[in-house]
Structure 1
């Protein structure tokens, strides 16, 4: 056995993770300082937003953002950022923060962030993330099984829905070019007929579908929006008609994107019908379930995902209904062979010899090189909370959304666009005969509530008019919270209509 040589101290030790007892104490003290500061902020933030204007916040930040050559103590820096940064942030864990698909993070996810940052694993090659590689693989297997994919299913963690949708569109494009023309896009670029290629999606699909197809060189005109019905779902008859029309024009439809939880309404396109159609026509089916995949843990509503197992690729976001800190997403494929379309080899990172020896380098499955060990957040959350509790959180938010829609329907000044919400989003408008500009009135309501810090709700456009929106992801938001916000909306509208000063 060799002898251990005592490590000599350096001038930089206090700025890195600990060596020895003295370093551990230093680390603990710093973590406690951060915890104490955050605890103070959370205690003092009794509203979802402090209500400062853009100009106020910029002015408060001005002096604090000045930098010096000399170091400052952490205590001093935390004191400086406490007001301008921490208190001026959106308090997403507040029960009346119900604007966007922006969830309150659960404690296991928050604590996992400390571990992830401390270990600082890079998920591109096995020798940079030895244990982490297999944790991610296990989490991929777990969620692939939940989707209903066979043992050939696979995937990779991503930064979120936009990246996952990009990967779905990338693989769909390359697989089509390979199967139709034997053309390898990776090596040879786009084929001569690429201008004829078309992707279909709902007219209410996430903007990242069009953005991805555009970035992939096909142009925005390659995305064909399909009309939706009164429930904001893609119509199967319209899909069939559109494909037939495209084919008649000599164009090449090759993929359909089904949205499982639209951003505004939480609507779910007909998964089984689209799967049947894609199977019949030989089209790639990508399911954007960034929002709706939370139902995989639901005991009451999982049937709404029937048919998702037949997709070629699926987008999941864990920083929505799994309550993870941003960012944390996943891209899944039904057949792992398609991920080979992403693979590039570099001698210094993932040489072919590694693959031949069975060494798993996850960069082979990703459009990123360096990636965070986000799978650990999911593992800790599933183990600490358990799937039954997580599923009940999802179900609770859906029940509160239904209550919100029913309550708004009962109040004569409100019109609800989706009175039977499919997930946990409710879109509505406050209507008044006293206002000649209903859109302007609703915009003012949303802004006044935000700047007074009373509630954070969203606004969106429906048929060219401004509507309001509740996006309910916080399981601690109760029916009483919803009632209080609705009453604030009514009170604010009366103030605006009565000319009460802001």
Structure 2
């Protein structure tokens, strides 16, 4: 037994307890507090050293290269020490881990994280607090509730607002639409007391932008509506929902045969960062008594922006709002919330269990509001971040990445080798290598795909790809306040070079044929 384990055993005997079972010396406890400190220091030192010596955003390693290493590990034979396990992890994970903190990472909506949130992650993981009932989450429950009220105030909701932390935007959107479904079903039953919910479901429709997140369609499928219940509303040339098109959709689907149960406005589309005209959409919803959900998973960072809060004008008129703190508040995954203007409606999905959250319990039990039961205390990360940095500093970083996106848009828009689609409202740019004298569209598609792959395998950068009108486009997603326009000028040159080399090679092959 290790010295730490022996000390723990002696301490237990001194208190009249039985000697601990084998393996219990690895449990976080009062007896192992010093061991925990030593292990954490060792782990943080290794991580710090890796961060210092690694200077690339990714390696482009293929699954076939890594799979034999992972599959070759004998999980039934432990290594016996944390140091050995961390050394093994170096080549199984860290060697190829994607670095969101690298300025040349610009692929998906994954952000670098702030240090106070990482500290909070360590604390909440060590204590393993589950915020489902008061008995298990004393203090943690109140911290989450306070953060929900803070977010509701930023949105512009009144004192009756409420909400709950979730695993991410997908769960937040599902929760919002479940509430909307219950409201719509109740309305149908009020009109026809004999109707059953199962007969209401085929009549329900959800109107949303053609560029909204796929989680809206997934939610419809999970709710038994089917993805065909989601109606894609056309957008303008900035990829924002067109109010006139929404009005026409209402005329088509808010009829005797079908009912629009909700409209989902998007405040920050995944590809374009486009923000739907929330005020105009909200006015149409109020006129017809239709539930409005705003998916601000991406754009929610604007709530603390010193200069761009106005882009979310009208959000206070929503019934529910999704905010992902693990996108534009620089939090580790997971950290998201659903905020509800009238908190009382959360009770429509409440289930009471006598062993967990009995109906007569006077204490606040967050399981009453959540789709999850066991749930991590993820709110602690945002809490500690706010107490160290404050919202003004977070908002300044949000503005910084949007400013950078506008500068990079200027580079691309002025470059005849590229076609850029939309000037960004947030921090994404969709563009394509397509010089003035370009080849067939299929060749340009392949050239863009090749450039993206070549950039990654050369460790020079990581960018995303998307499809527009069945053509391949590239995408920058900028969420790193430490990145500069110079970083992206270099990426643009690298992408152009790789794409040009590909087209030359294609032309040579055609000539040889």
- TM-score bracket for the superposition, by shorter chain length: over 0.9
Question: Which whole-Å CA distance do the structure 2 matches of 1:332 and 1:90 have between them?
Answer: 32
Pairing of 1:31-46 with structure 2 (within 5 A): 31-46=40-55
CA–CA separation in structure 2 for the residues paired with 1:434 and 1:241: 39
Distance 1:343 1:135 in 2: 21
Answer whether contact 2:447 2:500 (CA < 8 A) is retained: no
CA distance in 1, matches of 2:55, 2:183: 52
Count of residue pairs brought into register by the alignment = 489
Query: In the TM superposition, what is the alpha-carbon distance from 1:197 to its structure 2 partner?
Result: 1.0
Deviations 1:187-227 (A, max 9, x none): x9734232111110001110000110111011112111101
Quote the residue 2:7 is aligned against: none
* Residues in 1 aligned to 2:255 and 2:349: alpha-carbon distance in whole angstroms: 33
> Aligned pair 1:403/2:407, yes or no?
yes
Distance 1:465 1:110 in 2: 40
5+ residue gaps in structure 1? none
Q: Is the 8 A contact 1:256 1:284 kept in 2?
A: yes
Kindly indicate whether the alpha-carbon contact (under 8 Å) linking 1:177 and 1:191 is maintained by their aligned counterparts in 2.
Answer: no
* 2:79/2:85 contact within 8 Å kept: no
Question: Is the Cα–Cα contact under 8 Å of residues 262 and 292 in structure 2 kept in the other structure?
Answer: yes
Alignment match, 1:197: 204
What residue is the counterpart of 1:485 in the other structure?
491
TM-superposition CA deviations, 1:122-162 (whole Å, max 9, x none):
11111011110001011111101111100001000000000
* Aligned residue in 2 for 1:159: 167
Q: Is the 8 A contact 2:322 2:339 kept in 1?
A: yes
Residue 345 of structure 2 is aligned to residue 338 of structure 1: yes
> How far is 1:247 from its partner?
3.5
Q: Does residue 431 of the first structure (1) align with residue 437 of the second (2)? A: no
Q: Say which is worse superposed, 244-253 or 287-296, in terms of deviation.
A: 244-253
State whether structure 2 residue 118 is matched by structure 1 residue 114: no
Name the stretch that deviates more: 52-61 or 436-445. Answer: 52-61
Residue 379 (str. 1) matches residue 388 (str. 2): no
After alignment, is 439-448 or 397-406 more displaced? 439-448
Q: Retained in 1: the 8 A contact 2:155–2:315? A: yes
Q: Does 1:265 align with 2:276?
A: no
Partner Cα distance (1:254, 1:73) in 2: 56
Alpha carbons of 1:434 and 1:241: their partners in 2 closer, same or farther (altered >3 Å)?
Answer: closer
For residue 134 of structure 1, what is the aligned residue in structure 2?
142
TM-score of the pair, normalised by structure 1: 0.94
Higher mean C-alpha deviation, range 191-200 or range 133-142: 191-200
Does the 8 A contact of 2:419 with 2:432 survive in 1?
Answer: yes
Q: How does 1:52-451 map to 2 (within 5 A)?
A: 52-63=61-72, 65-70=73-78, 72-182=80-190, 190-248=197-255, 250-354=257-361, 357=362, 359-418=363-422, 420-432=423-435, 433-436=437-440, 437-451=443-457
CA contact (8 A) 1:435 1:441 kept: no
Provide the C-alpha distance between the structure 1 equivalents of 2:255 and 2:114, rounded to a whole number of angstroms. 52
The CA distance in 1 between the partners of 2:79 and 2:412, in whole Å, is: 55
- Structure 2: distance between partners of 1:295 and 1:284: 23
Segments of structure 2 that go 5 or more residues without pairing to the other structure are: 1-13, 509-513
Q: Residues 438 and 444 of structure 2 are in contact (CA less than 8 Å); yes or no, is this contact kept in structure 1? A: no
More off after superposition, 51-60 vs 173-182: 51-60
CA distance in 2, matches of 1:114, 1:104: 17
Q: How far apart are 1:184 and its partner, in Å?
A: 13
Mapped to 1, the partners of 2:255 and 2:133 lie a distance apart of 47
- Please tell me whether the aligned partners of residues 123 and 370 of structure 1 are also in contact (alpha carbons under 8 angstroms): yes
- Deviation, structure 1 residue 273: 0.3
Q: Is the 8 A contact 1:37 1:82 kept in 2?
A: no
Give the TM-score normalised by the residue count of structure 2: 0.92
2:199 match: secondary structure:
coil
Q: Distance in 2 between matches of 1:92 and 1:182?
A: 51
Deviation at 1:180, TM superposition (A): 3.1
